């Protein structure tokens, strides 16, 4: 898997969840510009950041690291176990669905 593939999967998963880069940045604990750079392939993502993003997007970490070409989060069924199966619960945080 290339770093660009990882970046695309992260961006696609965020968009599929309807989250802003700012909302994800707040969850991960990084500036919004870091999310922008990660999604553009200009910054590597740490293991901890990836784990937090995967949890936020309701995807297993393997979805982002697999060398095979998994279905896009946009094309997965909403009822797929463990993937995009429910809203993120966050109180008093703008940008959450």
* 53 contacts 46 by C-beta, under 8 angstroms: no
Number of domain units in the chain: 1
- CB distance 48 to 34 below 8 Å: no
Tell me what the pLDDT averaged over the chain comes to. Answer: 78
**Domain with 25 in it: what CATH number?**
1.10.260.40
Asked if residue 28 has pLDDT above 60, the reply is yes
**2-6, 62-66, 87-91: lowest mean pLDDT where?**
87-91
Confidence (pLDDT) at 61: 94
Query: Which of these, 31, 82, 88, lies nearest to 61 by C-alpha position?
Result: 82
| Half-sphere CA count of 64, side-chain side, radius 13 A | 29
Give pLDDT tens digits for 38-82: 999 999 999 999 999 999 999 999 999 987 755 544 434 333 334
pTM above 0.85, yes or no: no
Structural domain including 10 reads 3-65
Asked if residue 83 is part of any domain, the answer here is: no
């Amino acid at each position: 898997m290339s770093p660009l593939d990882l970046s695309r999967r992260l961006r696609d998963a965020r968009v599929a969840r309807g989250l802003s880069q700012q909302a994800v940045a707040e969850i991960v604990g990084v500036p919004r510009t870091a999310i922008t750079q990660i999604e553009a392939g200009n910054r590597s993502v740490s293991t901890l950041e990836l784990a937090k993003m995967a949890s936020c997007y309701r995807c297993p970490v393997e979805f982002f690291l697999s060398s095979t070409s998994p279905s896009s989060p946009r094309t997965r069924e909403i009822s797929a176990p463990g993937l995009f199966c429910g809203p993120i619960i966050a109180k008093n945080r703008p940008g959450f669905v």
